[in-house]
Amino acid sequence: MHINGVQIDDTFAEAFPMQATRIIITAMTLKWAYRAANAIRGFASSVIACGIEADIERELKPSETPDGRPGIAVMIFAMSMKDLEKHVATRVGQSVMTTATTACYAGLDSDKKVSVGKSLRFFGDGYQISKIINGKRFWRIPVMHGEFICEETTGVTKAIGGGNFLVLAKTARHGLTACEKAVAEIRTVTGVITAFPGGIVGSGSKVGSKYKFLTASTNEAYCPTLKGQVKSALGDEIGSVLEIVIDGLSKESINQAMRVGIKAACSFGPENGICRISAGNYGGNLGAHLFYLRTLLK
């Protein structure tokens, strides 16, 4: 299979079950909602070392937020409820409550929930008060800029992490240009995030290492500088490989995100340095969800 002259490898992306939540951050202006959202997604690229994966899903108009102010929807993914419970409250407390004029609300409604305001209310040192509106509890925590409003809990849902594709290019500049366009298209899809910086992975990994203390290490088969030293998956024309990793609330949302992202990358064609599209997997032995490139692109 080829799209615009770009070869689509006959392979699949292998992804994993995760737990996810969405929070809504509002502020006096969109600028300050972004400040808080960017802080909360800092150091949240991979559960391998960060504990969670998080990113901005989309901007919200004042008409879409609980308090009628500008807002940002942020999605947070973890491998377990325990990890999600720990990191959501910590990050909201350290990154959102500390940002001037912000408030934080649940972005998902479900039977499963993790604490947000329920944990953070103690910062009020006994001066915090709560109010129930339409069956939902909100905490008003006095802070120096005024007060921090935070919903008691936010819903949790089953999710999928690790949908991915690889862009094999002649040079790093070619690959980066194509991946930037791919990420821009992926961000039009609701219910997905690309948690790595700028949505692009420059150091894709494999499971395991020659060093026993590492759980993941560089994917040498896709490292252009190691051609001739290892069993390489790259032809002579490939000088750079970049990866885009997608977390989503459903298989359908990841399928759509991969589809639009791959087509965007392929739109550059070989004449603009894009040679192949592939995907990362572990032989189908680790992840419960397999995304076959040629199937989802039909």
Q: What is the DSSP string of 68-101?
A: SS-EEEEEEEESSHHHHHHHHHHHIIIIITTSTT
pLDDT, position 209 = 95
User: In terms of pTM, does the model score above 0.85?
Assistant: yes
CB-CB contact of 183 with 199 (8 Å): yes
pLDDT, position 283 = 86
Domains, the chain, ordered by start: 2-14+159-297 (3.30.70.520), 18-157 (3.30.70.520)
In which residue ranges of the chain is pLDDT below 70? none
Range list of β-strands (E), 91-180: 103-106, 113-115, 129-133, 136-143, 146-151, 153-169
pLDDT, position 286 = 87
Please state, in angstroms and rounded to a whole number, the distance separating the CA atoms of residues 283 and 16: 13
Beta bridge partners of 151: 138
pLDDT, position 39 = 97
3-state SS assignment for residue 103:
strand
pLDDT, position 285 = 85
H or E element, residue 55: strand 53-60
pLDDT, position 268 = 98
In the chain, DSSP finds a helix count (H) and a strand count (E) of 7, 17
CB-CB contact of 23 with 58 (8 Å): no
Q: What is the secondary structure of 247-297 as a DSSP string?
A: EESSHHHHHHHHHHHHHHHHTT-GGGTEEEEE---STTSS-SEEEEHHHHH
pLDDT, position 130 = 97
